[in-house]
Structure 1
Amino acid sequence: MNDTITRNALANAAAQGIGIGHLTPGQAWAAHHLAMPPERLTRPLASHIAALLENVERLARRRFFDGVAKDDAEEMIKRAYDEDNPMFLRGPIMETLNDGMQEFFPGLKPSGVDDEGREVFNLADLAQALGASEEDLLAHAEKMGITDQLRTTPPNPLH
């Protein structure tokens, strides 16, 4: 964690889902979300500031997790990749998914990145790694309503 809390540092911490100074990742996101001036975030936090940040963070958590059944992995994955949700909630899920991909599909490598820098994979490579046909994957994508996420143009090269 960085120690200096500035507006830019707070914005970066919120975007990355990390803490800053003495603020937890959730507090950093809440403070940024509220456009709180950095001078109000000194250590120790005033009790009313700590309570406000806690309430905003709790509301974000409730919105993120409410209505998801405990065993509904697909919905949690969908929420983890929904950029409208705070990164401090999305990040740990995305990290777990990435770890799982590396463990269970060590040979599967991205073919490039999209315009936002996210890794993209070739459909044929995915089908081979999963032991499925490309047609089955396309049908599954259509069933899930995610065909809009499939690319037909070449990805940006990996750096």
Structure 2
Amino acid sequence: MTITRESLTQAATHGQPLDHLTAGQVWAAHKLAIPPERLQRPLASHIGILLENVERKARRHFFGGVERSDTDTMIARAYDEQHPPFLRLPILEVLRQGMDEHFPDLKPAGYDDQGQAVYALADIAQALDVPEDELLDHAEQQGMLDQIKQTPAPHRVH
């Protein structure tokens, strides 16, 4: 397979590997705007080292300072688009699968501008069998209340 600028961009955006490059190498090559012809097999050792170092730095930034049991921080980082898709998207997929498995009847009320599912607080409260006020109190304790109140109205599901 010949790596092109378009295939590199698409794979980097979707957090996917491409040909002989790992998802992390793809993202690093895209970030550094390395010409596709420099990424063909066999990968020059200096290019491989450069990609590895950029990927390692991104991993340190993403995982750095997070305790193993600190799921809230990891989830927040997974939703933070400043981090590379190859690190964020696998976590978001696991979260989506968990929602589907544990709350199969909970359906999005709509989608935001980025295409992410948005749920109504009343529907979440019903699925968890707790009052909405309790969820709002928890959101306030977690410092998320402003985010909930400032979230623009979702695009409705038809």
Q: Under a length normalisation based on structure 2, what TM-score does the superposition of the two structures give? A: 0.92
Cα deviation for residue 147 of structure 1 reads: 2.6
Identity %: 59
Question: Residue 156 of structure 2 corresponds to which residue in structure 1?
Answer: 157
- How many residues matched? 157
Superposition TM-score, scaled by structure 1 size: 0.92
> Where does structure 2 lack aligned partners over 5 or more consecutive residues?
none
Q: Structure 1: any 5+ residue segments left out of the alignment?
A: none
Residues 4 and 20 in structure 1, CA contact (< 8 A), matched pair in contact too: no
**What is the aligned partner in structure 2 of residue 133 from structure 1?**
131
1:1-58 CA-to-partner distances (Å, cap 9, x unmatched) read xx44222221221111111222111000000111111111011101111111111111
Q: Does 1:82 align with 2:96?
A: no
Residues 3, 36 of structure 2: 8 Å contact kept: yes
Residue 44 (structure 2) pairs with residue 46 (structure 1): yes
Q: Could you say which residue in structure 2 is the equivalent of 1:121? A: 119
Please report how far the alpha carbon of residue 154 of structure 1 lies from its aligned counterpart in structure 2 after TM superposition.
Answer: 3.7
Contact 2:2/2:40 (8 A) holds in 1: no
Deviation >3 Å, runs of 4+: 151-154
Q: Provide the aligned C-alpha RMSD in A.
A: 1.5
State the distance in 2 between where 1:126 and 1:139 align: 14
Question: Secondary structure at the residue paired with 2:155?
Answer: coil
Q: Which segment is superposed worse, 143-152 or 37-46?
A: 143-152
Per the TM alignment, residue 152 of structure 1 is displaced from its structure 2 partner at its CA by 6.3
Change (3 A) 1:4 1:132: farther
Per the alignment, residue 20 of structure 1 pairs with: 18
Alpha-carbon distance between aligned partners in 2 of 1:75 and 1:99, rounded to the nearest angstrom: 19
